Amino acid sequence: MTKRWALVVVAGALAVAGCSSDLPDETTTASGSPTSDASKSKFFDQTEYNRQLAFRDARPQGPDGKPWEQMLEPELVDTARFAKPGGNYTLCFSNAAVNNPWRQVGYKTMQQEVKLHPEITTFTVLDAEAKDDKQISDIQSLSTKNCAAIIISPNTTATLTPAVEQACATGVPVIVFDRGVNTSCPVTFIHPIGGFAFGADGAEFLKEKVKPGGKVLALRILPGVDVLEQRWAAANEIFAGSGLDVVGVEFTDGDAAKTKSIVADYIQREGQIDGVWMDAGATAVAAVEAFQDAGVDVPAIVGEDQQDFLRLWVDEGLTAVAPTYPTYQWRTPVIAALKILKGEQVPKEWVLPQPRITGDNVKDYVKQDMPPLHYAMCGCEDMPGYPGPWR
């Protein structure tokens, strides 16, 4: 696209002008020197890090076996002023996007959750197609649609904050989930524990499984996205004190071919890689294949809960862990909306458990008949109609 050409021209001009050394600072992190002693990421927040790590061991409140209804250390708020008994609700949802498998699985789960509740007569959904400006106008138009409650999954944090505040001002209860906003006006903000815990789950696993001094390759999708940056910040923090040698931190753009090439290059360059950390599991299968195609053993690897990776894990007997960012969180906003409309208390910040899949329980999550990109932690297996809509 034209952007690519513009990039080329700019990049070329930079390099010609001798400024190529100004290029992004991962040139230093990837230049062979270990990054484990690199300074902390600016996305690192010690208080939040400690809080999230503590959440992992906290005992959730709520029904057993239904993590989407559970809450960690909730601070309940009163919602009596929103009570609107009688049913016949129009539930409204402004969705950031459905442009990746995670969001697709989540959105389907949410649609099925809505079907479970006959008191919701209309479910109005506007898809912002990953555009901030579209979501802002979506939220505005929802305020004229006679919504009983508005669920918002914000595209970005800062830009959507004023729009969420406007929605709150209409007096309709607002529920935010997944990514947050910089305002406390929504009745509840629903999210799993968070990125620090996710990153730490993987890094701690490698710390345990890889011998001291072992070489770890860190693969990230792209810089600058706060959720992903938090994952890396936590991993970086753990690697720093681990004695592991982080031989490279590379960006894959979430592209399987690029991931495979990068891993193959590192196997050649380092002779051996003892662990692979990933900030998201979508390309984990490509990373594993790179080891297989190079004819070497697959080392300890961090993936995610997508079926293709879980199947490979079981079939090949990998040493792996899968931190999850559970898609069952898409069920919770609907449940929360109905609680609020009944006047029941909900937590101000609804923190959901964020399980990880380990070698002990991976077999429970493998579903041979589901598509390869399906996320196992959807909490959808017991829903009526499963597995039809998720296929």
Partner 1 sequence: MTWRPRLAEGTAPVLVVLLLLLIGLAIAGPAYDEPSGYLALLKRAAPLMILAIGQYFVIVSGGFDLSVGALVTAGVVIAARLIDGSESATAWVILLVLGFGLLVGLVNGLVTTKLLVPSFIVTLGMLLVLDGAIFLWTGGAPRGALSAGFRMFGRGAVDVPVLGEVPWSVLILLAILVAAALFMRGGTGRALVAVGDNEAAVRLSGGQVDRLRLLAFVLSGLLAAVAAILLGGFAGVSAQVGNGLEFRAITAVVLGGVLLGGGRGSVVAAAAGALSLEALFTLLNLLGVSGALESAVQGVIIIVAVAYASLGSGVRQRLRLWPKQRNVARPAQPASS
The residues that touch partner 1, with contacts defined as CB under 8 A, are 1-2, 4-5, 7-16, 20, 23-24, 26-27, 29-32, 97-101, 103-104, 250-251, 253-262, 264-265, 268-269, 271, 283, 285-286, 289, 293, 308, 371-373
Please report how close the Cβ of residue 29 comes to partner 1 at its closest, in angstroms. Answer: 8
> Across the chain, where does the E strand assignment appear?
76-77, 89-95, 120-127, 149-153, 174-177, 188-192, 215-220, 245-251, 275-278, 300-302, 320-323, 346-347, 349-352, 356-357
Alpha carbons 286 and 290: distance in angstroms, whole number: 6
Tell the smallest beta-carbon distance from residue 266 to partner 1 (Å). 8
Using DSSP, state whether 182 is helix, strand or coil: coil
CA 302 to chain CA centroid, nearest Å: 14
Identify which of residues 71 and 98 has a Cβ nearer to partner 1 in the complex. 98
Report in angstroms how near the CB of residue 291 gets to partner 1 at its nearest.
13
The tokens for 354 are 């964020």
Q: Which is nearer to partner 1, 27 or 46 (CB)?
A: 27
Residues 199 and 203: their CA atoms lie apart, in Å, by 6
Provide, rounded to whole angstroms, the least separation between the CB of residue 264 and partner 1: 7
> Is 276 strand, coil or helix?
strand
> C-beta of 4: minimal distance to partner 1 in Å?
6
Residue 349 three-state SS: strand
Indicate the residue among 220 and 356 with the shorter CB distance to partner 1: 220
Query: For partner 1, which is the closer residue by CB, 119 or 265?
Result: 265
> Which residues are bridge partners to 158 per DSSP?
none
E-strand ranges in 298-358 read 300-302, 320-323, 346-347, 349-352, 356-357
Smaller CB distance to partner 1: residue 179 or 339? 179
Cβ 86 to partner 1, closest distance in Å? 36
13/158 with CB nearer partner 1: 13
Closer of 58 and 257 to partner 1 (Cβ) = 257
CB closer to partner 1 out of 274 and 308? 308
Is there a contact between 63 and 69 (Cβ–Cβ < 8 Å)? Answer: yes
> Could you give phi then psi for residue 345, rounded to 5 degrees?
-70, 145
Comparing CA positions, the residue from 391, 390, 299, 351 lying closest to residue 54 is: 351
Select from 377, 384, 383, 350 the least CA-distant residue to 62. Answer: 350
